[in-house]
Structure 1
Amino acid sequence: MTNTKEHILNVSLNLFMQKSYKEVTLKEIVDKTGMSKGAFYHYFESKEQLFVEVINFAFATVIDDSYNKFSKESLFQFYHDYIDYFINEEAPKLTVNYISLTFDALKFVPDFQRKLLKSQKAQMETWKEVIQEARDRGEINTPMKDEEIAKMFIYSIDGFGLHRVFGQINREHMKLSLLTLWDSFYEELKV
């Protein structure tokens, strides 16, 4: 990606994070980038095309399979790696504007919902795989199904994310709370 194109994407992302897709004008984007309208059109055919590329740019880490970076030696290590990743990479982004941008993307970007659902499915499959391996190793022993356990981890972090958006929890408190909750849940799974 060229530096100019990346500059346009970053400036546009900041604008879309401040206001909704419909509120941001092409003139505003051109003014904030410091470029001419002609230079803008060299990289993007329309505001709509720009928005699609901004969304793909902004959500690349959410949609990509980041789980391959986490240790799968144990369920314990996997969820600790996940918490570190979430706190350092995802939690700082969680704002009301980020959620608003997500909803704009769902409305205006073709295939965005499909990509999110595919990502969620991959997330669930990865958790279930790690849980099954933990069960096979004797790390955990529980009558709960793998998918039920995975949902407990996934849905609880989703809830913490919403509390973060509402400004009710800072990152350090979120990390300590998640570790306490998940460590306690993990101890129950070992019984």
Structure 2
Amino acid sequence: MYFRQEVINVMVQPSPVSASFQLILDTAEQLIREKGCRQTTLQDIIDRSGLSKGAIYHYVSGKDELFGLILKSRMEEVNVKFFETVADQQTASVNRPLQTIAEGMARSAEHLDVSNKIFIYLLGQMDNPKVAGLVRGIYEHTLATSSRWIGVGQENGVIPPSVDAQKMAMMFVTFLYGMRVQSVIDPERDALALGDIYQMMFRSLQ
């Protein structure tokens, strides 16, 4: 069974990102790779990007907010790839879309991945109410996106309707966050293989 075109037509389109904002995101990621989250400042981003202070503050009020937007942009990358896979007429089952999600999870849980560095950094700032609210918003966004993926599979008959999309999405997000923390606590241990992540998700959705 192929994914129905009427379902594909209502998929969420990503909001266009300005060239300046994309430059800010890219510059921040580059600096985090070089210096880490704590040592990266907005002034560093201003100096490296060549943008003015006003241009930076037009988009964000501080570096923590910027870091949160990087996490959301990474999630949106996976979301776009998911719907591109769904729209492919060769997609006849849950396998390829689920593979796309598993690949995104595996990447974001890598010890040296920028999004993982940001995630752990923000968790360490949770005593700050503003950061706590930011992290909560990222969690809710990830949960809603994951639930939407499961819902698309159910609407197309490739995931059983008996699966509770909200609870299953919560389980996947908990699994992802656990992998991220594990990679920091024990970076020398081999991470879960992509195939293992895929199999866990596949069996959970049957």
Please say if 1:122 is aligned against 2:134.
no
Q: How many residues get paired?
A: 174
- Decide whether the 8 Å contact of 2:99 with 2:198 is kept in 1: yes
Please say if 1:147 is aligned against 2:147.
no
**Cα offset for 1:80?**
1.0
Q: CA RMSD in A?
A: 4.5
Q: Percent identity?
A: 10
Please say if 1:107 is aligned against 2:128.
yes
Post-superposition Cα deviations, 1:3-31, rounded to whole Å, max 9, x if no partner, equal: 9967874576458735378xx796xx49x
Query: Which residue of 1 is the match for residue 178 of structure 2?
Result: 159
SS in 2 for 1:59: helix
Please say if 1:66 is aligned against 2:88.
no
Match of 1:93 among 108, 111, 114: 114
Post-superposition Cα deviations, 1:44-92, rounded to whole Å, max 9, x if no partner, equal: 67xx944256425533424537323213353332211111223345633
Work out which of the two has the higher radius of gyration on C-alpha atoms and give 1 or 2.
1
Post-superposition Cα deviations, 1:119-171, rounded to whole Å, max 9, x if no partner, equal: 1343243133134225xx2x444744333333343332332232223226445
Alignment of 1:166-181 (within 5 A): 166=185, 167=187, 169-171=189-191, 173-181=192-200
Q: What is the TM-score normalised by the length of structure 2?
A: 0.55
Please say if 1:80 is aligned against 2:99.
yes
Please say if 1:55 is aligned against 2:77.
no
- Decide whether the 8 Å contact of 1:20 with 1:104 is kept in 2: no
- In terms of fraction of residues, the more helix-rich structure is 1
- Identify unmatched segments of 5+ residues in structure 2: 1-19
State the alpha-carbon separation in 2 of the partners of residues 159 and 123 from structure 1: 18
Q: What is the TM-score normalised by the length of structure 1?
A: 0.58
State the alpha-carbon separation in 2 of the partners of residues 104 and 126 from structure 1: 29
